[in-house]
Amino acid sequence: MTIEASTGALERARKAYGELVARGLSLDLTRGKPAPEQLGLSDALLALPGTGRYRAADGSDVRNYGNLRGLRELREIFAGPLQVPADQLLAAGNSSLELMHDCLVHALLGVVPGAESRWADQERIAFLCPVPGYDRHFFLCERFGIEMIPVPMTDDGPDMDEVERLAAADPAVKGIWCVPKYSNPSGVCFSDETTARLAAMPTAAPDFRIFWDNAYAVHHLTDEPVEIADLLAACAAAGNPDRALVFGSTSKITTAGSGVAFFGASEANLDWLLAKNAKRSIGPDKVNQLRHAMFLRDEEGVRAHMERQRALLQPKFDAVARILEAELGGTGLAAWTSPKGGYFVTLDVPEGCAKEVVRRAAEAGIVLTPAGATHPYGNDPRDATIRLAPSYPSLEELEQAVEGLAVCVRLVGEERRNG
C-alpha cells in the first residue's frame, strides 16, 4: 500500500469508529449462553414430569434419596451421543463443569486408580492445555494450583508431537483438557489419529487422565455432523482403560441452568467417583432426570431437538461469517474460523492487537470476551485471539455487534500499519 492509500484507510477507519461510538450501542458478545428462544424449545420440560408422575422405568420413586448413578433410561439416551456404554455412564447434577471440579478435588485429596499418592501430596502437578481453549478449564487449574502448560491446537486437535513429548517426559504432567468436538473456542474436531495417539501414548505419570469434555457432542451446524473416535474404547484397547474421563451435559440441549450432566469412565474410575460422591450427596435430582427422559425420549428425540436448536443458531453463525467476510475479507487484518458446530467463532487479529480491539469495542458499547481468556493465566503471548459467542444476542443485535467489531479491527489494524 502506498503511504497515501494507507493514510486514507486510517482516516476512513477513524471516521467509521467515531460514527460507531456516537451510536451509543450496548451489545454483549461475551458468553456462549443459549438465547431465550433456544431455551423456549424446552418449555414443555417445565410441566414435566407432571402431577402423579414420579416412577422411574425400574419402578423406583424419583422423589426420594438414592441412585447415585442416575436414571438408567436417561443414561441410555445419552450413551450413544457421548460414546459411553450406559453401564459406564453416570447421570448427575446440572453441571458438567461441577463434575470436572469434583474430579480434580477428589484426585487432589484422594487417590485416583493407578496413582501412587494423592496429587495434593506431590510437589508439582501440571495439566496440558491446548490453546486456544476454554477459560473455565483454566480457572479450575488456577484455583487448585495446577500448573498449565499450553500446547498449540492444529486442525486435527492438539499438536500431538508436543503432547506426547511433554506427557512422556514429566511425571508431574497428570492430565490434559480436551474439548474433542466443535472445540471451545476454535471449533476444531479431533481426528481419529489424534484420539488414538492420546489413548495409547506413554505417559510418565501412571495416573494420567484425559479430561474429555464432550460439551458439544450433538451441537451440529451443518448437514454433515462430525463424528469423532470413541476415546473410552480406544483407551481400553490400548491397555490404558483408566485414562479417559468423559464429561457432557444437556446445558446447551435443553436448559443451561437446569439440565443434566454426565460422567463416563472405566469401572475403576466410576467406583472411585461414586465412593467419593456418596460422601457428598445422597443422590442426584432424579425428578429432573425423569423429566429429561420423558421430554427427549430417545437418541432420535435428541437429534430432532438439536435440529430445532440449529435452525435458531445457524443464521447467527452465517451472519458472523457474512459480515466478517464483507468487512474484513482481503484486508489482511483478520482471519476467522467457520465452525461446523458448537458455540464459538475465533477471530484472529494481527499480533499485538487483540487487547486493543477489545478495548476499543468496549468504548463503543460492544462487550467482547477479554483478550487472553482463551489462554492459561489469561495470557495470549501473541495477543491475537478473540473469542466470539454469537448465540445469545438477537440476530439484529449480533449483526450490529459484528459490524461494530469489524470497524474496531480496521481502526486498530490501520493504526498499527501507520506506526
> Is residue 347 left, alpha or beta, with left meaning phi > 0 and alpha meaning psi from -120 to 50?
beta
- State the minimum distance, in angstroms, from the CB of residue 346 to ligand PLP: 13
d(CA 240, CA 245): 12
- Cα R_g (the chain), whole angstroms: 23
Q: Is 97 in the site for ligand PLP (CB under 6 A)?
A: yes
Q: Cell numbers 464483507 label which residue?
A: 326
Which residues are CB-contacts of 344 (< 8 A; sequence separation ≥ 6)?
32, 184, 185, 186, 187, 387, 388, 389
Point out which span in 91-99, 115-123, 264-272, 277-285 binds ligand PLP (CB under 6 A).
91-99
- State the minimum distance, in angstroms, from the CB of residue 217 to ligand PLP: 11
Q: Is 184 in the site for ligand PLP (CB under 6 A)?
A: yes
Q: Is 213 in the site for ligand PLP (CB under 6 A)?
A: yes
Copy the grid coordinates of residue 340.
461446523
**Residue from the set 27, 228, 261, 334 that interacts with ligand PLP by CB under 6 A:** 261
Residues that bind ligand PLP (rule: CB under 6 A) add up to a total of 13
Q: Is 179 in the site for ligand PLP (CB under 6 A)?
A: yes
Q: Is 343 helix (H, G, I), strand (E, B) or coil?
A: coil
User: Prior bond to 339 cis, omega within 30?
Assistant: no
- State the minimum distance, in angstroms, from the CB of residue 184 to ligand PLP: 4
Copy the grid coordinates of residue 319.
451472519
Q: Quick check: 235 and 268 in contact, CB under 8 A? A: no
Site string for ligand PLP, 38-77 (x = CB under 6 A): ----------------------------------------
**Residue from the set 249, 266, 269, 337 that interacts with ligand PLP by CB under 6 A:** 249
Q: Please, what sign has the CA dihedral across residues 99, 97, 375, 184?
A: positive
Q: Which residue spans within 220-310 are E strands per DSSP?
A: 244-249, 261-264
Q: Is 134 in the site for ligand PLP (CB under 6 A)?
A: yes
Residue with Cβ nearer ligand PLP (203 or 254): 254
Q: Is 96 in the site for ligand PLP (CB under 6 A)?
A: yes
Q: Which amino acid is at 57?
A: A
Helix 267-280 vs helix 96-109: crossing angle, to nearest 10:
90
Point out which span in 89-97, 146-154, 196-204, 273-281 binds ligand PLP (CB under 6 A).
89-97
- State the minimum distance, in angstroms, from the CB of residue 198 to ligand PLP: 17
Point out which span in 92-100, 110-118, 330-338, 405-413 binds ligand PLP (CB under 6 A).
92-100
Residues 12-41 that bind ligand PLP (CB under 6 A): 32
Which residues are CB-contacts of 353 (< 8 A; sequence separation ≥ 6)?
383, 384, 409, 412, 413, 416
- State the minimum distance, in angstroms, from the CB of residue 179 to ligand PLP: 4
Binding site for ligand PLP (CB under 6 A): 32, 95-97, 134, 179, 184, 213, 215, 249, 251, 256, 261
